[in-house]
Structure 1
Amino acid sequence: YGSRAPFGVILITTKSGKSGKITANYNNNIRLGKPRGLPTMLDSKTFAYYFNEVAANDGEGAKFSQEVLERIDAYQKGEIETTTTPNASDRFQYYTGSNGNTNWFKEFYRDFTTSHEHTLSLNGGTEKLNFYSSANYMDQNGLNRFANDNFQRYSIATKINAKISDKVDLMYNTRFVREDYEKASHMNDLYYHNIARRWPTIPLYDPNGNYSEPSEILQLQQGGRSKFQKDFLYQQLQLHYQPIKNWNITGNVNYRITTQNDHAEILKAYSNDAKGNPFLLAVGYNAAGYTNVSEYNRKDEYFSTNFFSDYSFDLNDDHHFKILAGFNSELNKYRDLNGSMSDLITDNIPTLNTATTNPRASGGYQHWATAGFFGRLNYSYKDRYLFEANGRYDGSSRFPRDLRWNLFPSVSAGWNVANESFWPIKEHVSMFKLRGSYGELGNQYTDNWYPFYATMPVSIANGTWLLNGQKTNTASAPGLIASTLTWERVSSWNVGLDLRALSNRLGLSLEVYRRNTFDMIGPAPELPAILGTAVPRLNNAEMNSRGFEIELNWKDHIGKLNYSARAVLSDDRQTVTKYPNPTGTLSTWYDGRKNGEIWGYQTLGIAQSAEEMAAHLANAKQSFGTNWQAGDIMYADLNGDGQVNNGANTLANPGDLAIIGNSAPRYRYSFDLNFNYSGFDLGIFLQGVGKRDYMPNGPYFWGANGGMWQSAGFVENMNFYRDENSTMVQNGVLGVNKDSYLPRPYFNTSKNQQTQTKYLQSAAYLRLKNAQFGYTFSPQLLAKIGFTKIRIYASGENLLTFTKMAKVFDPETVGLGGWNDGKTYPFSTTYSFGLNLNF
């Protein structure tokens, strides 16, 4: 796979038909998904006093007035029914002016999502002609209660094998897939962002019974729909010719075409004021009243050819040789067209023809190509001594002509000690193979498909002078080109051990590797600003990776109980060995940097009194805040200069920063257990990570964060420092909490929310990823009703998770940081029920 797989490849083999009478198989699956890990929203009274507390800590006035606080209290006690009052303009007041009590996660998300999938397949034929055909349909509904989002997939596939003669075989494989996804246009990342920061004081309905303006439900239901459709057509034709015994000649051609058609519309959405008069709302990122329709079309074509021949022969029945040589090529090209217009004549027909202003169109053509010659020699002596040599000569269109081709060799050797005559325990250990390998591959991936071509950016009607009353089009001078950009080279050393023992019941595989990446594409060198243009990136970086993988498996039976177990443990570390960072700045890579390093401050603790904080500041002035007081973080002065800061933020002068953790997952492991007894089967799959650090930096963890409008308030944020002077304590909402986990909250993030040791989360976890229980009816019973197999099963995914991480984060998916941890679909547990029929 050469330049397309410098770091490995996953192979998927399509099913083939079998000779014999035609058999049919039907599978269905019904799934229920339940969101997990959502924060627990505060009741509106606690939320209002929390925001007032934070404002007081910031030296600001109360966000919620006493009158609103009293309304909130009365509404929660059932003494009043009104959730808001209108202002002088007859608009209902929300946020700090309303007194609802809404759990927005509960309102917006369904308790369960539903989906179902069905597959029907047929296979059969003769020794000379057989086929396999299948059709699949899947329908999946989203979580949103107020504006359905739905995904549907249809696919059909056929594979035909024909024996033309004793020496010639022909195979044809085709598959068509269509994907349809539809959602409300307003349902973007900002929408998910807003669900978590929507205040509980905002009611779901206004006093007139309409959905409240800030709920965004009206935008979801009235603001238009977006529809995305993708079609995939795969075609493969393969011819296999065997002119003589052990000589095989194979050629195949592959063609894949992908077409994409997207439609998006932004329509008017209305709310009503207290007197029932309508007014326009903003939809998405757009101004109120804005309407727009856009169409996007794209067509991708991928064509590849593979021709290879292999010949194997033996000498004296002891020496086995196999020689392979071949050629492969790829061509990928796409074209796209995008058009949009604004100000629809009518929202009832959202098309380009019914829009009136701001016509915009764009499009382009792109393509890339690769080609490669490859060869392989295999040799084995009595299956004891194994040797393999490979060579690839690959070319890529992404590099200049004189740097386009490169040679990538590899070699491996193995010794199956168990096949030696002196091996004393053959009856117990049937395989004991030692192996080692060295190989090189190239990585062709670049940000720009043609970085060595000089291009002139063209702009429409943006000139600074007029011609015939119109602004002129302009073209800019091209920038510098990457004329020396070439392949990244990836070299790998591997040593391993494979063992089979105890009548093949026990298996062990151990592999240790080292990978070096040379000529990585790094940053552009720094040149004087007088140059006046961007500098292209170069092959100027290197990285080293080291790792191991251990797999242990066991397969046996006890009477009628068949069981198997498989355990896998792997680990890897990446270290930057060369990177152009002459100043040693910590904000980018540098020589010796470990992938995932987290730089931060050492936390001494939370100051329990003003006196303790004053004593600390006397010896360690903390430079990223003022007005430090009880409840704030005390950071360590590691370099002893009497200040706490990041120095010059460089390796030579990091100030008081130190490496406090690493976000790269370490010691990935999994367990796979399977049991079968008298038709009953049980499969259990667990996975986890032994070591990983994560530093939370958003409101999901902190609550108050980055200003009032970017902040939130959840039950999980309430374990913060409160003394007797706390607003919440004085009003009897929460008690004194000096022995808290979180510090005093501020809308400002600079003081207490620095990256630091105290709040560094362990993202290590163990998860019951999947468990499936099924029953297969006995063949004797099925024969009476015309079936060859019936199996029913129940399955669950993401059922249990063991972790020390804060529960508002999922350790498997965390890492986007900040509000991004709430800008996507919630993590879900899925329950499924299925049926397999063969007849």
Structure 2
Amino acid sequence: MKTLTNTLFLLFVGFATLAQNKLTGKVSDEKTKEGIPGVSIAIKGTNLGATTDMNGQFSLAVASTATLVISSVGYETKEVAYTGQATLNISLSEAANELAQVVVVGYGTQRKVDITGATSSIKGEDLAKQPVMTPTQAIQGKVAGVQIISSGRPGSSPNIRIRGTGTALAGTATLFVVDGVLTDDISNINTADITNVDILKDASSTAIYGSRGANGVVIITTKKGTSGKLSVNYNNQIGARQAANLVKMANANEYANYLSAASGRPIQAGNVSTDWYGQILRTAMMQNHNLSISGGSEKATHYLSLGYLTDEGIVINNIFKRFTARLNNDFTLHPKLKIGLMTSYANSRDQNVNLGAAYNNAYRAAPIIPAVENGLYGNTSLYQNVGNAVLDIKNNDDLTLNNRLQGAGYVEFKPLTFLTFRSSMGGDLIFANQRVYNYQFNNDGTTFIQPGGNQRNPNSNLTSRQTTLFRWVWDNTVSYNKQWNDHTFGVMVGTTAEAYSMNTFSAYRRDVPAASNLWYINTGNANTSTNSGDGDKWSRNSYISRANYNFKDKYLLTATLRADGSSRFPIQNRWGYFPSVGLGWVLSEESFMKGQHLFETLKLRASWGRVGNDRIDSDGYLVTVEPNLAYAFGGGTATLGSAITQIKDPNLKWETTEEMDLGVEFSAMNGRLQGEFGFYDKKSRNLLINVKVPSVTGDKDGVVLTNAASIRNTGLEAMLNWRDKISSTVSYRIGANATFNKNSVIGLNGGQPILDGGIGAAQQYTTKTDNGHPVGSFYVLQVLGVFQTDDEISGYKNSKGQVIQPGASAGDFKYQDTNDDGRIDDADRVFAGSYQPKVFFGINLGFTYKSFDFSADAIGNLGNVVYNGKKAFRQALLDNVERSMAYGRWTRGSGIQTEPAANAGNLPASTYFIESGNFIRLNNVTLSYSLPAATLQKAHIGTARVFITAQNIFTLKKYSGFTPELPGDPTRAGIELNAYPTTKTLAVGINVGF
């Protein structure tokens, strides 16, 4: 009987199989047209189905009539009726619930709703719309907790601060991970090649990167090919840039009047009035072209892209050009074995300018001197100790050529559905060649410059510098993911190794001919030759692990542990251990939430983690010998020798950041409202700082670098996004995010406070990093006003009756005698604010009507101050002044308290130079139009979009300088000396797909 039953069952299965049809097809993203991996295709009412491969392809046996249920995390579920066709192509639209999206985390991916740490994700298509060189510029204002400080200089990368500044002297660079390759620089990445950018913000999410995670992690995933029809896309942007804001300087008449008042003798303006900034700035063109080709089969896919970018700087002679190429391939050798290779090449040509001298001189140069006259440069140094700003730029040719090859390959073996072995190797190779040529010029009227003065270069000279940099990383991981009823468990373990080497060699000679085809070291005077070299080498070895647990999609647990060994530390402190744990509670899955109709998803999360920072000099703990030092034995002839001239701490250890994070994430009102609120408390300990040592030790600096400081950042983050449809043809979206951060040095532990931000001889320092204050706080004299009369000067006394400023005159600044000692000196300085904002925010708007799409975003800072360093650098009577100084200065009887009388400069560091850093800027506005499908079909075009975009249209600010966005190292950021002005851009473009 049993045998008969088995036979009948087999016959039934056989007939059922014969009655089924083979269906193949592809599931694609409705918007990008790219295949979606991991999509579930289920036959409704059964437990039968299939899953798409890496290219979105699937194969399935289906009965003659059936309903297919197609679902994937991050997309709307769709039901499709099967009517007997052999192939079926399906497109899915994105789910409104952002918490259902899949995001990239360290060494893997997770659903946003399953993540217990603080992360944010931005789509590549949103970044590519902006006329920027690097994706980080396009992120500005879009993510809470992430402050991006941009420079207008072509080829430069913005500074990124994630949840505040957590170090003083060690590196602050954010870690970038590009297709598995770790790097500190993404200036080679074409924004059009990016699929997604995921930002890991808290220690729980970055702990998997251990020693690299202290400053946050930005993971960039580039595009891959899809199987099926060949896809070709071209997009471009062409536009013009100008300085977003110019400082108005005094013209010739205003300058003459100011100098007459300052010197007490009449000064004639003459017939020339030179706008020096107008002489060195220009309207600059930019263009960006990108072509991509993707396609493939079920066994192999490819993505090829070519990009060309040209960005003229708004400073004359400045231009940056970049060519990029990328080839990403994936191969399915067997259903259980896949390999892939992602490679990119970038070639850049950066024609830099001598901005330091040019900007300083353009600010100070007298407007009564012509920039160029009768073919010769005006001789500003004949009139004052300032060079001709135009000649400063054109006197030298500074060119850097960069060739960069970056790639990663992987092998992935999946013997079981729940077990994956993956090995990947990545490399980053850079060849940089810099050539700086300074022309010969005299001041005798025969070459370049008018007769007289002291601006001259009697001998031409050439510096050639070559740098080779290589970095590799090798990751090996094993992942196990299994579900038992309501329990989902995953674990990943692995090893990773990384090594870095850099070598630089430079040579210098004078009297090199002026013809550019002869700019080689061997054409110069061999008797003037000097050579130098430098380098660095370090390595890391690490062990990583992560465990995830999910119960009923309600209770979440994530734990990680990474052990890092770094060659940058002594053997006894070489290893650091970086754990983290995160908990999540999805309240919306609880039974008591089932009756409500407000939230689709509501999640609470809490996490704790510890990460490190090893960005110190590789010889930071090694005592080295300084050669070629002269020493006289017994008062005789000096003899060259070597000596130890510094003391180093042989027990240097990791800077460690420990962070606690609490947050709530939700999706509400049928997905129209998405939100996230978070609180973090981040303490960075064992920070590197200089500690004084006794002079008898022989250390030439009198300090030793050691671990003796702590910094704390606490903050609140908020992000809300609303999107809705008014009708079938009209929709809109509104988003906003804000971050409230407090930064403070909480313990120097005997360390020496850091004095930094020197500006000229009169202001040796302007910032101080000390206990109880933010890193790099301004530390200056407090201005109380302007002395109005001589009696006021004689009446300004300390508690002992001593006249505090006896040498002052009416119209001079009145400074606070903070320590009441009867005189004004450095002991009277006070803390006067920080460049770090108390609040930074972003606002994003969008509106769609039929084929038109409009978007706009704004960014801003509140609660910070900046230092007008260029005004502080004015050091002589004949230096020019800003127009506001010429018109707003004190005169007898005016009662003015904010601007002193006409003076010769050389003012001490004071609150006079400190201004509000608050600003709000309309960062980007874009209007686009997508051509109708009927028109495209006739032209045999898949997609076509034209757009016009404007960037940095206007900025509301109080600061009188070029820009309140002033990137720099933590202890001296926020000082404007020769910052490249922020630029505003107007561009048009087109995107076409075939």
TM-score (norm 2): 0.71
Q: What residue identity is the alignment partner of 2:675?
A: L
Deviates more, 1:792-801 or 1:619-628: 619-628
Q: Which residue in the other structure is 2:811 paired with?
A: 631
Return the offset for 1:115: 1.2
Q: Which residue in the other structure is 2:378 paired with?
A: 212
Q: Which residue in the other structure is 1:118 paired with?
A: 289
Q: In the TM superposition, what whole-angstrom CA distance separates every residue of 1:711-731 from its partner, at most 9, and x where no partner exists?
A: 32221212444446xxxxxxx
Return the match for 2:965 from 812, 816, 819: 812
Return the offset for 1:454: 3.2
Q: Which residue in the other structure is 2:56 paired with?
A: none
Return the offset for 1:493: 0.6
8 Å contact from structure 1 (residues 609, 630) kept in 2: yes
Q: Which residue in the other structure is 1:474 paired with?
A: 641
8 Å contact from structure 1 (residues 622, 635) kept in 2: no
Q: 1:243 aligns to what SS in structure 2?
A: strand
Q: 1:422 aligns to what SS in structure 2?
A: helix
8 Å contact from structure 2 (residues 479, 490) kept in 1: yes
How far, CA to CA, are the matches of 2:238 and 2:571 in structure 1? 54
8 Å contact from structure 1 (residues 346, 354) kept in 2: no
How far, CA to CA, are the matches of 2:474 and 2:553 in structure 1? 33
How far, CA to CA, are the matches of 1:555 and 1:380 in structure 2? 30
Return the match for 2:937 from 783, 788, 791: 783
Q: Which residue in the other structure is 2:249 paired with?
A: 41
How far, CA to CA, are the matches of 1:504 and 1:573 in structure 2? 33
Q: 1:47 aligns to what SS in structure 2?
A: helix
Q: 1:453 aligns to what SS in structure 2?
A: coil
How far, CA to CA, are the matches of 1:393 and 1:451 in structure 2? 22
Return the match for 1:747 from 889, 899, 904: 904
Q: 1:140 aligns to what SS in structure 2?
A: strand
Q: Which residue in the other structure is 2:106 paired with?
A: none
8 Å contact from structure 1 (residues 269, 281) kept in 2: no
Task: Summarize the Cα distance change of 1:314–1:289 in structure 2 as closer, same or farther, 3 Å threshold.
Answer: same
Q: What residue identity is the alignment partner of 2:685?
A: F
Return the offset for 1:576: 1.7
8 Å contact from structure 2 (residues 426, 472) kept in 1: yes
Q: Which residue in the other structure is 1:615 paired with?
A: 795
Q: 1:195 aligns to what SS in structure 2?
A: helix
How far, CA to CA, are the matches of 2:219 and 2:453 in structure 1? 41
Where do 1:606-685 residues align within 5 Å? 606-617=786-797, 625-636=805-816, 641=820, 643=822, 645=824, 649=827, 657-685=829-857
Return the offset for 1:745: 3.0
Q: Does 1:827 align with 2:994?
A: no
Task: Summarize the Cα distance change of 1:834–1:15 in structure 2 as closer, same or farther, 3 Å threshold.
Answer: same
Task: Summarize the Cα distance change of 1:109–1:530 in structure 2 as closer, same or farther, 3 Å threshold.
Answer: closer
Task: Summarize the Cα distance change of 1:168–1:370 in structure 2 as closer, same or farther, 3 Å threshold.
Answer: same
Return the match for 1:372 from 518, 534, 542: 542
TM-score (norm 1): 0.84
Task: Summarize the Cα distance change of 1:350–1:487 in structure 2 as closer, same or farther, 3 Å threshold.
Answer: same
RMSD: 3.2
User: Structure 2: where are the runs of 5+ without partners?
Assistant: 1-208, 381-386, 756-766
Return the offset for 1:600: 4.7
Task: Summarize the Cα distance change of 1:598–1:565 in structure 2 as closer, same or farther, 3 Å threshold.
Answer: same
Q: What residue identity is the alignment partner of 2:711?
A: M
How far, CA to CA, are the matches of 1:351 and 1:401 in structure 2? 45
How far, CA to CA, are the matches of 2:407 and 2:921 in structure 1? 39
Q: Which residue in the other structure is 1:154 paired with?
A: 323
Deviates more, 1:685-694 or 1:24-33: 685-694
Q: What residue identity is the alignment partner of 2:210?
A: G
Q: Which residue in the other structure is 2:949 paired with?
A: 795
Return the offset for 1:188: 4.2
Q: Which residue in the other structure is 1:27 paired with?
A: 235
How far, CA to CA, are the matches of 1:814 and 1:164 in structure 2? 48
Q: 1:17 aligns to what SS in structure 2?
A: coil
Q: Which residue in the other structure is 2:63 paired with?
A: none
Q: Which residue in the other structure is 1:393 paired with?
A: 563
8 Å contact from structure 1 (residues 371, 395) kept in 2: yes
Q: What residue identity is the alignment partner of 2:666?
A: L
8 Å contact from structure 1 (residues 719, 737) kept in 2: no
Q: Does 1:769 align with 2:923?
A: yes
Q: In the TM superposition, what whole-angstrom CA distance separates every residue of 1:772-818 from its partner, at most 9, and x where no partner exists?
A: 11111111210100111111111111112112332x34222388999
Return the match for 1:507 from 644, 657, 674: 674
Q: Does 1:490 align with 2:647?
A: no
Where do 1:446-485 residues align within 5 Å? 446=616, 448-459=617-628, 474-477=641-644, 479-485=646-652
8 Å contact from structure 1 (residues 319, 382) kept in 2: yes
Q: Which residue in the other structure is 1:78 paired with?
A: none
8 Å contact from structure 1 (residues 193, 819) kept in 2: no
How far, CA to CA, are the matches of 1:775 and 1:486 in structure 2? 56
Task: Summarize the Cα distance change of 1:713–1:621 in structure 2 as closer, same or farther, 3 Å threshold.
Answer: farther
Return the offset for 1:498: 0.9
User: Structure 1: where are the runs of 5+ without partners?
Assistant: 57-61, 76-99, 650-654, 725-735
Q: Which residue in the other structure is 1:15 paired with?
A: 223
Task: Summarize the Cα distance change of 1:623–1:688 in structure 2 as closer, same or farther, 3 Å threshold.
Answer: farther
Q: Does 1:605 align with 2:785?
A: yes
Task: Summarize the Cα distance change of 1:324–1:576 in structure 2 as closer, same or farther, 3 Å threshold.
Answer: same
Return the match for 1:231 from 403, 408, 414: 403
8 Å contact from structure 2 (residues 813, 900) kept in 1: yes
Q: In the TM superposition, what whole-angstrom CA distance separates every residue of 1:326-365 from its partner, at most 9, and x where no partner exists?
A: 1111011112211111223675623222111211112244
8 Å contact from structure 1 (residues 222, 268) kept in 2: no
Q: Which residue in the other structure is 1:335 paired with?
A: 503
How far, CA to CA, are the matches of 1:675 and 1:544 in structure 2? 41
Deviates more, 1:667-676 or 1:517-526: 517-526
8 Å contact from structure 1 (residues 399, 452) kept in 2: yes
Q: What residue identity is the alignment partner of 2:674?
A: G
8 Å contact from structure 2 (residues 355, 393) kept in 1: no
Q: How many residues align?
A: 760
Q: Which residue in the other structure is 1:418 paired with?
A: 588
How far, CA to CA, are the matches of 1:477 and 1:600 in structure 2? 36
8 Å contact from structure 1 (residues 280, 289) kept in 2: no
Task: Summarize the Cα distance change of 1:284–1:266 in structure 2 as closer, same or farther, 3 Å threshold.
Answer: farther
8 Å contact from structure 2 (residues 795, 803) kept in 1: no
8 Å contact from structure 1 (residues 384, 419) kept in 2: yes
Return the offset for 1:555: 1.5
Return the offset for 1:377: 0.9
Q: In the TM superposition, what whole-angstrom CA distance separates every residue of 1:752-779 from its partner, at most 9, and x where no partner exists?
A: x6523x7642211111011111111111
How far, CA to CA, are the matches of 2:298 and 2:451 in structure 1? 66
Q: Which residue in the other structure is 2:687 paired with?
A: 520
How far, CA to CA, are the matches of 1:283 and 1:156 in structure 2? 52
Q: Which residue in the other structure is 2:696 paired with?
A: 529
Return the offset for 1:19: 1.2
How far, CA to CA, are the matches of 1:777 and 1:603 in structure 2? 61
Q: What residue identity is the alignment partner of 2:881?
A: G
Q: Which residue in the other structure is 2:487 paired with?
A: 319
How far, CA to CA, are the matches of 1:23 and 1:43 in structure 2? 58
How far, CA to CA, are the matches of 2:427 and 2:496 in structure 1? 14
Task: Summarize the Cα distance change of 1:619–1:634 in structure 2 as closer, same or farther, 3 Å threshold.
Answer: farther
Return the offset for 1:664: 1.6
Task: Summarize the Cα distance change of 1:780–1:715 in structure 2 as closer, same or farther, 3 Å threshold.
Answer: same
Q: Which residue in the other structure is 1:712 paired with?
A: 880
Return the offset for 1:40: 1.9
Q: In the TM superposition, what whole-angstrom CA distance separates every residue of 1:122-163 from its partner, at most 9, and x where no partner exists?
A: 001112211111000111223345xx3321101100000111
Q: Does 1:143 align with 2:351?
A: no
How far, CA to CA, are the matches of 2:577 and 2:416 in structure 1? 32
Return the offset for 1:836: 0.6
Task: Summarize the Cα distance change of 1:522–1:582 in structure 2 as closer, same or farther, 3 Å threshold.
Answer: closer
Task: Summarize the Cα distance change of 1:824–1:679 in structure 2 as closer, same or farther, 3 Å threshold.
Answer: same
How far, CA to CA, are the matches of 1:491 and 1:472 in structure 2? 52
Q: What residue identity is the alignment partner of 1:437?
A: S
Return the offset for 1:109: 1.9
Q: 1:151 aligns to what SS in structure 2?
A: strand
Task: Summarize the Cα distance change of 1:622–1:305 in structure 2 as closer, same or farther, 3 Å threshold.
Answer: farther
Q: Which residue in the other structure is 2:459 paired with?
A: 290
8 Å contact from structure 1 (residues 495, 512) kept in 2: yes
